[in-house]
Structure 1
Amino acid sequence: MAKPLILVSNDDGITAPGIHMLVKVAKKIGDVVVVAPDSPQSGMGHAITIGNTLRLDKSIALEDLDVEAYECSGTPADCVKLAKFHVLKDRRPDLVVSGINHGSNSSISVLYSGTMSAAIEGAIEGFPAIGFSLCDYGHDADFSHTEEFVEQIIRQAIENGIPENVALNVNFPKKSSEKIKGIKICRQAHAKWQEEFDERLDPNNRRYFWMTGSFVNFDKGEDTDEWALVNNYVSVVPCQFDMTAHHAVARLNNEWEF
């Protein structure tokens, strides 16, 4: 039987250690094609390039893994679009995977995540899709403890499928002396970043701002991604791109007058 075709992307750029680990695992399972940004695109959300050129070139960044790889000047969503319409053409990926991101994409961070935008773009195009992230922002982060779980989740996705129009948001706890307890299917926690903007002056005495802040979790539930990660589980949250607040439709129809 033919191996499954796996499309790999990310938002940290094609030279990031996280994508190296993801490609290494994906190669155990299927044929891999990589289309990833040529530079970091963290926090880009689902941005796409409009009105500017997009460049796509063969890449040697992953040549030690012997895969077909391309680097793109655009966003993660651009990468998946170009992969479908140009690189793969009439080849259909069996799975789109994105990451492994350097930093958490749990709770509200999923909205800002370039990693998840690549996965969501895959789901929009009708492909099963997964975004992987590690709760460690360091460029030299240790991904070794994620390998077995990445492989397990990818195999499950290929063998059992992912619901239509859904992308999985998978987050791993930072490596510690404690062994990961397992995998939890979760909901997105009600949490947010409480931003502050530090006002500074540049050498020309011009004012600029640097965003800082702290993470605040308002959710006390034990079925959330944040609870799972704090308790040393891998969190898996099914996400959809239909952002309709269905529960609010009837209320607005009943209470608003036009």
Structure 2
Amino acid sequence: MRGDSLGRDRWIDYSRASKALLKLEHLLETPPKERMPCMVLHGDSNIGKTLIVAKFQREHPDHFDDVKGVEHRDVVVMQMPATPDQHRFYTALLFVLGAPHSASASLSVLERLARELLRRMAPRMLVVDEVHHLLAGNYREQRASLNLLKFLANDLKFSIVLVGTADAPLALATDPQIISRFTPFEVPRWRESDDLRRLLGAFEPVLPLRKPSDLMQRSIAQFVLSASDGLTGEISRLLNEAAALAITDGTEHITLEHLKHVANADG
């Protein structure tokens, strides 16, 4: 049973993630104005961006106004369609808003419905994940999608946060106005540092092991860094699989040998 908990997503606090959450909170608290501040949260795949967004969304749950009979959603999170197309964008947005609609409806109908719903729900932030998908489109499609994002930010007076891989800033480079409005915030790969050791130390209490593993020791930190390529998601996977191995063999704590066994099994 203890091993079942290892596959679940768990929030592990670390300094860069905390700074990202503070930045998001600042954007959320910005009062409506003509030029709303926005952000692009970027970093390599599996570095932890989606978990940061999920944590922020949990901290700002939807709430229902019993008097007005309206659901309010402070933070709306959606994914950029794999093909950057305005029709697909509004279809994806309406889906996360829970709005029934016809996929064959015209772009103008989808846009009007989405804007009406957003005004009713009164979100203060729209988060668009996988924004690097913009690069899959041609120049015209990229510009149209970026203009759509600017329009929504201006029309509804909320902040927009774009989330994507290291290529995400490149997706915005075709529009100088977008670049000037969206402040970049990078979640970099880990390197050998006190912050990395603190991250490993933060993992230890949440692993269902009966004995301490001393994950902050230098040899373990160096091996985990090398085997994970500095990716938060890979660090989590390595530790979870090593913990499962330690439960199975009865040692009840993670050793360097457990980690090497897991890493060699991947190879």
Q: Could you tell me the TM-score, scaled by structure 1's length?
A: 0.29
Name whichever structure is richer in helix by fraction: 2
Higher percent of residues as strand: 1
**Higher Rg:** 2
